[in-house]
Amino acid sequence: MLTFLCAVFVVGIIIMVGKLRRPNTTQKCAHIVVLGDLGRSPRMCNHAIQFEKHKFNVQLIGYAESKLGQTISNNNNINVSALKPFPQIEGLPAVLVYGLKILWQFGTLFIRLCQLPKPDVICVQNPPSIPAIFTTFLVAKIRGARLIIDWHNYGYSMLALKHGVRHWIVHLCQKYEFFLGQLADINICVSDTFKQNLGVHLIKASVLYDKPTDQFHILTTEEKHQILMKMSTKYSYKQFQGKLDDSTRFTSEDEKNNVTYVKDRPAILVSSTSWSEDENFTLLFDALKQYGSDDTTNLPSIVCIVTGKGPLKDQFIEQVEREREQYKHIEFCFPWLDADDYPLLLGCADLGVCLHQSSSGFDLPMKVVDMFAVGVPVCAVHYDCIGELVRRDQNGVIFQDSHDLSDRLESLLRGYPDRCLKLESLKSNLKNNLSNENWSTEWETVMKPLIRL
Ligand SMILES: *[C@@H]1O[C@H](CO)[C@@H](O)[C@H](O)[C@H]1NC(C)=O
Ligand SMILES: *[C@@H]1O[C@H](CO)[C@@H](O)[C@H](O)[C@H]1NC(C)=O
Ligand SMILES: *[C@@H]1O[C@H](CO)[C@@H](O)[C@H](O)[C@H]1NC(C)=O
Ligand SMILES: *[C@@H]1O[C@H](CO)[C@@H](O)[C@H](O)[C@H]1NC(C)=O
Ligand SMILES: *[C@@H]1O[C@H](CO)[C@@H](O)[C@H](O)[C@H]1NC(C)=O
Ligand SMILES: *[C@@H]1O[C@H](CO)[C@@H](O)[C@H](O)[C@H]1NC(C)=O
């Protein structure tokens, strides 16, 4: 009897696995997985677009919190498959909730990956690592697909920010990541420093740098005016409102649709963030409190736009509200922009600020790549490998602390808008050597050989 049941069970498994492995003979299929908000995972969305260009049927799997760009939502070959988020549970110990969450994520992701058409490749973002890379590894084995891990950072280093480097969960996660990294078919990562470190842990990776997609370009005055008008009218941000109907605080349009800049406009400072522990916003806010505190000659006032969503956002906005009178020349604006508006508003800025201090020291901020592509120089806080991206006094400046940042803001913006030579020279450097590398060329050179297309 028992033997019979076992036999039935084994045959059942074989049939199921056979079914799960049955390919769709007409089209190759790629599963792109991120256990996070898809709208805030631009690199994974870019992978999806690129796989689609190579005639894959693409299944984009993750959480559907923010709106996706039109390239994805209007594409028939990219199917967005939203996972059900873990429900809020209260009154249980944190460890138990964490355990339940992992089980939930494993279950929902595993079942979804088995339901969707058979993949030829599964490409997963790391982090979040637990349980994403294990689940995708398992499904890749069962369904006969190749697993690609895209290392944006180390998951354990993010956990260490929260729990401290000595916590057991950090050690466990570290072992888990290195172990699965060795088992994956293909590993790609975001910087050369990262590649070297993965190599130390016996993971052979290739560097696929973040490069701008074609949405990011230097805007014309008309394009700037349009998005600024949209901010002022559609989204009613008063920081953008001009004196007349057809004008914003920065640009105005005459009867012949000729757009010009307003003479005494404020400078626009932009920073984008996921409001998480690896960015210290106190640095920026402290620097802005000091801005113009000694000598305001020829210093413009600043509209500081901080775009993004994330866990620490509300806390920081409250703090800024509370300390409002300490910011003498600054107005703040904290929008969340959808994927199509983001490149446009970014392109209106005079200067970008990057507070990303990699938790591992190995990853590079994609927002800086985007800012460069729209011709905006960047002040970036120093950490080990930022020099792979920001070159001192060529495309931006690197600062150490809030005093330093405030000094640099003053020296770059003094004389704005017409007589700030240093800022202009950074801008023109960016314009002159706009690299003709873009995401698609980078992907073609790095990824295509790896997946043997
Ligand atoms: C798209 O994803 C949904 C699940 O979100 C699934 O039910 C559907 O079958 C998928 N469609 C295709 C064509 O893969
Ligand atoms: C197989 O590919 C074809 C062609 O794109 C598609 O129409 C069909 O839905 C796919 N079948 C499955 C089971 O995904
Ligand atoms: C990317 O760059 C290549 C070569 O410079 C160019 O031919 C192509 O049109 C660009 N693609 C996009 C999407 O901008
Ligand atoms: C637009 O305005 C600029 C600056 O005032 C002027 O030089 C230019 O001739 C105008 N163009 C048109 C089409 O009116
Ligand atoms: C953030 O920056 C401020 C300086 O403005 C510093 O006092 C603080 O210690 C920093 N916080 C962390 C967590 O590094
Ligand atoms: C860009 O071009 C400028 C000249 O316009 C040059 O001085 C600079 O070294 C170039 N390289 C970079 C990375 O900015």
Q: How far is the CA of 411 from the centre of ligand 5 (A)?
A: 23
Q: Are 412 and 422 in contact (CB under 8 A)?
A: yes
User: Which ligand is closest in space to the CA of residue 46?
Assistant: 3
pLDDT tens-place string over residues 15-57: 777 777 777 778 899 999 999 999 989 999 999 999 999 999 9
- At 47, which amino acid appears? H
Q: How far is the CA of 194 from the centre of ligand 5 (A)?
A: 25
% of the chain surpassing 90 pLDDT: 77
Please say if the pLDDT value at position 282 is more than 90.
Answer: yes
DSSP 67: P
List, chain by chain if needed, residues with CB within 6 Å of any ligand 1 atom: 59, 79, 81-82, 116-117
Please say if the pLDDT value at position 407 is more than 80.
Answer: yes
Pocket test for ligand 1, best of 27, 29, 79, 83 (most atoms within 8 A of CB): 79
Q: How far is the CA of 217 from the centre of ligand 3 (A)?
A: 12
User: 124: closest CA among 187, 194, 78, 37?
Assistant: 187
* Cβ-based burial of 55 (10 A; exposed 0-12, middle 13-18, buried ≥19): exposed
Q: How far is the CA of 111 from the centre of ligand 2 (A)?
A: 19
% of the chain surpassing 70 pLDDT: 100
Output the pLDDT for position 2: 75
CB neighbours of residue 21 within 10 Å = 12
DSSP 273: -
Q: Are 368 and 380 in contact (CB under 8 A)?
A: yes
Q: How far is the CA of 279 from the centre of ligand 5 (A)?
A: 10
Residue at token pair 């120093």: 382
Buried b or exposed e, range 431-441, using 16+ CB within 10 angstroms: eeeeeeebbee
CA distances 282 to 287, 318, 346, 401, Å, are: 8, 13, 22, 10
Please say if the pLDDT value at position 89 is more than 90.
Answer: no
- How far is C-alpha 145 from the chain's CA centre? 27
CA distances 211 to 340, 420, 427, Å, are: 17, 29, 18
Output the pLDDT for position 90: 86
Q: Could you please report the per-residue DSSP string of 141-207? A: HHHT-EEEEEESS-HHHHHHHHH-TT-HHHHHHHHHHHHHHHHSSEEEES-HHHHHHHHHTT--EEE
Q: Which SS3 state, helix, strand or coil, does residue 333 take?
A: strand
Q: CA angle, 400 as apex, 398 and 401 as ends, to 5°? A: 125
- For the chain, the C-alpha Rg in angstroms (whole number) is 24
User: 361: closest CA among 188, 153, 125?
Assistant: 153
User: In the β-sheet with 351-354, what is the strand arrangement from edge to edge?
Assistant: 330-333, 302-307, 267-272, 351-354, 378-381, 396-399
Please say if the pLDDT value at position 271 is more than 80.
Answer: yes
DSSP 241: B
Q: Which SS3 state, helix, strand or coil, does residue 394 take?
A: coil
User: Which ligand is closest in space to the CA of residue 19?
Assistant: 2
pLDDT tens-place string over residues 424-453: 999 999 998 887 778 999 999 999 999 986
Output the pLDDT for position 299: 93
In which band, very low, low, confident or very high, does the pLDDT at 296 lie, cut at 50, 70 and 90? confident
Please say if the pLDDT value at position 292 is more than 90.
Answer: no
Pocket flag, ligand 3, residue 233 (CB < 6 Å): no
pLDDT tens-place string over residues 369-392: 999 999 999 999 999 889 999 999
Confidence (pTM)? 0.88
* Pairing status of strand 259-261 against strand 251-253: antiparallel
Q: How far is the CA of 255 from the centre of ligand 4 (A)?
A: 11
- At 27, which amino acid appears? Q
pLDDT tens-place string over residues 317-352: 999 999 999 998 899 999 998 889 999 999 999 999
pLDDT tens-place string over residues 171-229: 999 999 999 999 999 999 999 999 999 999 999 999 999 999 989 999 999 999 999 99
| Contacts of 300 by beta carbon, 8 Å cutoff, 6+ apart | 265, 266, 267, 329, 413, 416, 417
User: Which helix (H) or strand (E) covers residue 122, if one does?
Assistant: strand 121-126
Domains of the chain are 27-211+441-450 (3.40.50.2000), 221-432 (3.40.50.2000)
* Position in ligand 1 atom list of the atom nearest CA 82: 5
